[in-house]
Amino acid sequence: MKRCGLFILSAVLAIVFSCQTQEGKDQYCKSSDGVKICYTEYGQGEELIVLIHGWSCDKSYWSKQVDYFKQEYHVVTIDLGGHGKSGLNRDNWTMSAYGDDINSVLKKMDFQKAYLAGHSMGSDVILEAANKWGENNIELFLVDRFNDTPMPWIGESFDNFLQPFKDDFVTASSQWIKQVMFVPESDPELIEWIAKDMSQADPKVALSAMENLFSNDYTPIINQLKQRHIPMTLINSDYQPLKIDNLQKVGFEVVTMSDCGHFVMMEQPETFNNILKGMIEKYDESDLIVE
């Protein structure tokens, strides 16, 4: 009996130790097309928060959210294909393929409900992932993405916008990030770090992703998610004009932040974390209502 008891105790401790040693360590799975996807887990529980970075970024951009949320939730950060430590063996970097990247990680998780937060391009990606996910146990938080009814941007004006990135990606991307993504109150050191980091992205990945990002029409997907009663919340900075009425008509709940630029979760992490947590708790409470 003693030997059996010791064996069981050892097995339990091994499982606990294994879970603890995985926290904060890079793990890998394969997306639907075989691209290696890097992700990291923190915390535990039946409620899962999945944090998705934007264009030419990586999962480290959510560092100020991880410590806050892992105390109560199972948190996962993901490097989309072609970003961070994930694989590069993909020819066309579409939002649909990025959605598959997320779902490949979700399939490895055991959860009751998942809250997907996507920053910038990551917002488009979580829309794609949710549209393909077979269950309604997910809720979406789009972080500083749409300012008005989502519409594709194609034609000569977009071609003119894209050409400088094709000619000199590092210079064009750095200048664009500094000029349009921040406000006077933004931290100069943060501006420089983000501009330098994003401009070092693989141009092939970045250009393909940018073209796919702006050419997509998300109206059909948003309508389908609305019909499935998937909650969709926009957490946007007000540094650019917002057509809130139009966004609400589409199906978004809109929450705004002030005195910060595009990277709201990095510029004002405390405010952002409180907003996200408050919205999650709001949805939790609505699930308890019995009609």
C-alpha pair distances (Å), 9 with each of 13, 14, 203, 243 = 6, 8, 52, 59
The token duo for 99 is 């959605």
Please report whether residue 140 resides in a domain.
Answer: yes
Distance of CA 233 to the CA centre of its chain: 13
- 176 found inside a domain: no
For residue 21, what pLDDT is reported? 46
CATH code where residue 35 lies: 3.40.50.1820
In a domain, 182, yes or no: no
Residue with structure tokens 């969709």?
232
Alpha helices of the chain — where are they, by DSSP H? 2-22, 63-69, 95-106, 121-132, 156-167, 169-180, 188-199, 203-215, 219-227, 244-250, 264-267, 269-287
Residue 174 lies in a domain: no
Give this prediction's pTM. Answer: 0.90
| H or E stretch at 233 | strand 232-237
For the chain, report the end-to-end CA distance as a whole number of angstroms: 53
Q: How far apart are CA 52 and CA 118, in angstroms?
A: 5
Distances (CA, A) of 167 to 2, 28, 162, 192: 72, 34, 9, 22
Tell whether the torsion through CA atoms of 171, 174, 179 and 181 is positive or negative. Answer: positive
**What DSSP state is assigned to residue 129?**
H
| Domain-embedded: residue 11 | no
**What is the rounded distance in angstroms from the CA atom of residue 57 to the CA atom of residue 121?**
10
Based on the number of CB atoms within 10 Å of its own CB, is 232 exposed (0-12), middle (13-18) or buried (19 or more)?
buried
186 — phi, psi (to 5°)? -65, 145
Into how many domains does the chain fold?
Answer: 1
Residue 3 lies in a domain: no
Task: Flag whether 202 is in a domain.
Answer: no
Please give the pLDDT value at position 142.
98
Any idea what DSSP says for residue 228? T
For residues 199 and 172, give the distance between their C-alpha atoms in angstroms, rounded to a whole number. 8
112: three-class secondary structure by DSSP:
coil
Q: What is the C-alpha to C-alpha distance for residues 64 and 41, in angstroms, rounded to an integer?
A: 15
61-88 core/surface letters (b: 16 or more CB in 10 A; e: else): bbeebbebbbeebbbbbbbbbbbbebbe
What are the average pLDDT values for consecutive 10-residue runs of the chain, which has 291 residues? 48 44 89 98 97 98 97 97 98 97 97 98 98 95 95 91 97 98 97 98 98 94 96 97 95 97 98 97 63 37
Both tokens of residue 95? Answer: 């939002």
Give the amino acid at 162. L
CA distances from 51 to 18, 36, 54, 150, 243 (A): 23, 18, 10, 22, 26
Task: Answer whether residue 53 is part of any domain.
Answer: yes
Dihedral of CA atoms 142, 176, 37, 85 in degrees, nearest 10, equals -140
Domain span including residue 105 = 22-151+216-287
Determine the pLDDT at residue 8: 47
Give dist(CA 96, CA 72) in Å, integer: 31
Return d(Cα 205, Cα 162) in angstroms, integer. 14
